[in-house]
Amino acid sequence: MKLAILGAGAWGTALAIAFAEHNAVTLWSRETDVAADLLLQRENRRFFPGYFLPSSVQVATEFASALAGAEVVLVATPMAGLRPTLEHLRAVGCQLPVLWVCKGFEAGSGLLAHQVVREVLGPERVCGALSGPSFAEEVAAGQPTAVALAANQPDFARQTALALHGKRLRIYANDDLVGVEVGGAVKNVLAIATGVCDGLGLGLNARAALLTRGLAEIARLGVALGAQRETFLGLAGMGDLVLTCTGDLSRNRRVGLALAEGKSLTTILDELGHVAEGVYTARETARLASEHGVDMPISSAVAAVLAGELTAGQALEQLMARQAREEMA
């Protein structure tokens, strides 16, 4: 398959490395210094040092030239970059199917990525999400990884998953686009909560309870938004939640650990140096939960901590003071 990857951050670079094994890949960067580095050194020293592009990967700085000959476009920007990239695709008249790897709700609108695609490119555009338990560093290093590919057209999901599937990066087709997107979005919020839990030294019992109750929250919101409940037991649900909440490479988990230390959010983000999507997704998650009447106490507590309305300790006390209820209610 001929694939145009738009965005040369850590994820875009890692996927270019992984997909180049069996596909013709062009990687586009809007930063000219990054593109020059990739062309001359085959290394993304600004965003992803230590990993090198195969010689077969083409690097482009011109947007239109990156799309030339492509069969599928993969947007590898943060959620905030999705709409501008789609608008750029519309401006150049691109009609190709669009995939994305960003996870979250759009700030302000609360839209999932496929809803943003619908607004910008129209309801007929073939599109889908690539999501699941995957750190860019491990994908680039060729360590075994499995993710889900969900699309608005099941046949496209199956065919594209088959084309991109490799020995090390295994891709499974899924027909629940909403569920895959909600799982990928809200797990980042729960990873912040788990970081706080671990940072406060609450123990492994507490972490396990938090993960389990957090998964229930994700499923409740997903079903309210039209997802299939069983999706949250798969790669884009439980799989991604466990990885992001417990893996040391998780940016969102690191945000939670720093909040437990009493650091300000501004300081945390400055020190992180990368986007932690859960910071921006938490507010939209809490708002959507309220709008749909979905009980999401953990996610709401994270949103309150990030907004400066509660300290990490106060949020914990609030959660522990909740009335007992039936587990499956």
Mean predicted confidence (pLDDT) in 27-46: 94
pLDDT digits (tens, 9 = 90+) for 297-320: 999 999 999 999 999 889 988 888
Q: Is the pLDDT of residue 67 over 80?
A: yes
pTM for the structure as a whole: 0.95
Q: Model confidence at 202, in pLDDT bands (50, 70, 90)? A: very high
C-alpha dihedral over 15, 17, 18, 21, to 10 degrees? Answer: 140
**Domain spans of the chain, in order of start:** 2-175, 179-320
- Residue 174: phi, psi to the nearest 5? -145, 145
**pLDDT higher at 67 or 275:** 67
pLDDT of 320 reads: 82
Measured in degrees and rounded to the nearest 5, phi and psi for residue 135 equal: -100, 140
Helices 177-199 and 297-306: crossing angle in degrees, nearest 10, is 60
Over range 49-73, report the average pLDDT: 96
The reported pLDDT for the residue numbered 325 is 78
**% of the chain with per-residue pLDDT over 70:** 100
pLDDT at position 327 over 90: no
According to DSSP, residue 238 is labeled I
Burial of 5 (0-12, 13-18, 19+ CB in 10 A): buried
* 297's tokens: 């106490």
2-175 and 179-320, same CATH topology: no
CATH architecture of 179-320: Orthogonal Bundle (1.10)
According to the model, what pLDDT value does residue 17 have?
Answer: 97
Selected from 3.30.1540.10, 3.40.470.10, 3.40.50.720, 3.40.50.2000, the CATH number assigned to the domain covering 2-175 reads 3.40.50.720
pLDDT per residue as tens digits for the range 72-86: 999 999 999 999 999
User: So what's the pLDDT on residue 322?
Assistant: 82
Closest CA to 193 of 281, 133, 266: 281
pLDDT the model gives residue 323: 80
Q: What is the distance between the alpha carbons of residues 282 and 305, in angstroms, rounded to a whole number? A: 10
What's the pLDDT tens digit per position in 205-251? 999 999 999 999 999 999 999 999 999 999 999 999 999 999 999 99
Catalytic residues: 187
What pLDDT does residue 329 have? Answer: 63
What single string gives the DSSP state of each residue in 270-293?
A: HHH-S--HHHHHHHHHHHHHHHTT
Alpha-carbon gap, residue 20 to 1, rounded angstroms = 10
Residue type, 215: L
For range 97-114, the mean pLDDT: 96
pLDDT single digits (tens) 132-161: 999 999 999 999 999 999 999 999 999 999
Mean pLDDT of 11-19: 97
Q: Kindly indicate the confidence band of residue 276, based on its pLDDT and cuts at 50, 70 and 90.
A: confident
